[in-house]
Chains A and B, each alone.
Chain A
Amino acid sequence: EAGVVQSPRYKIIEKKQPVAFWCNPISGHNTLYWYLQNLGQGPELLIRYENEEAVDDSQLPKDRFSAERLKGVDSTLKIQPAELGDSAVYLCASSLDRPGPNTGELFFGEGSRLTVL
């Protein structure tokens, strides 16, 4: 079974440019997460989707960040314009949140590493 797929793996842009990251979750997983991981830190939640609905976007900087999951499957995270401080790894994860032994287990993609110059 394919895991969580993210692209691109690496992106280098100049500040003030836009950038977008794409995530395809594991088939059938209804919950999708975007996390931000700064160097030497643990991942921090940006947004959580249940199907196509963003149920927690309290940590998403909405002045420059946006996300969508239009059909409740794959998702896109966009930054416009990018700033130097946005350099980080952007992780996508998915889970199947139905009662059972695997409730709440998140499966992560390999991440998209952004460098803003």
Chain B
Amino acid sequence: GDSVTQMEGPVTLSEEAFLTINCTYTATGYPSLFWYVQYPGEGLQLLLKATKADDKGSNKGFEATYRKETTSFHLEKGSVQVSDSAVYFCALLQYSGGGADGLTFGKGTHLIIQP
């Protein structure tokens, strides 16, 4: 079946550091790829997405590029802030039959940014 593997946390960085959170996936066909973020005490929110190979999703300074050749969707940000502290989930969405199936999530990466 489909699966998503992301780097284990927690990841602790200083403010203004460069961030990479690795994500690789196993899936048949051409899934869409997502990064969701969960801030403390809040629900999951879509951060960015890419629907086909070589697409780059971006939002709030975060970027991720859909790499089919390496089955990866790594999340990057050039300069992190304390407010970026959260749990980040990589996910994929498969399509079958008449529509989209449910998201398959990675285990999440807890990001801690220190001032």
Contact = CB atoms under 8 A, between A and B. Distances in A.
Contact of B99 (A31, A44, A45, A108): A31
A109 B43 contact: yes
Q: Which range holds the interface residue count of chain A?
A: 20 to 34
Interface stretch (A63-71, A78-86, A97-105): A97-105
Contacts of B107: 40-42
Counting chain B CB atoms within 10 Å of each CB, the highest count among A91, A95, A106, A110 belongs to: A106
Tell me whether chain B's interface is mostly helix, strand or loop, or mixed.
Answer: strand
Nearest to B31: A104
B100 A44 contact: no
B108 A48 contact: no
Interface of B: 4, 32, 36, 42-46, 49, 89, 91, 93, 95, 99-108
20 contacts: A3-B43, A4-B43, A31-B100, A33-B102, A35-B102, A41-B108, A42-B4, A42-B89, A42-B91, A42-B106, A43-B44, A45-B104, A48-B101, A95-B100, A97-B100, A104-B93, A104-B95, A107-B46, A108-B36, A108-B45
Interface of A: 3-4, 31, 33, 35, 40-45, 48, 50, 56, 91, 93, 95, 97, 103-111
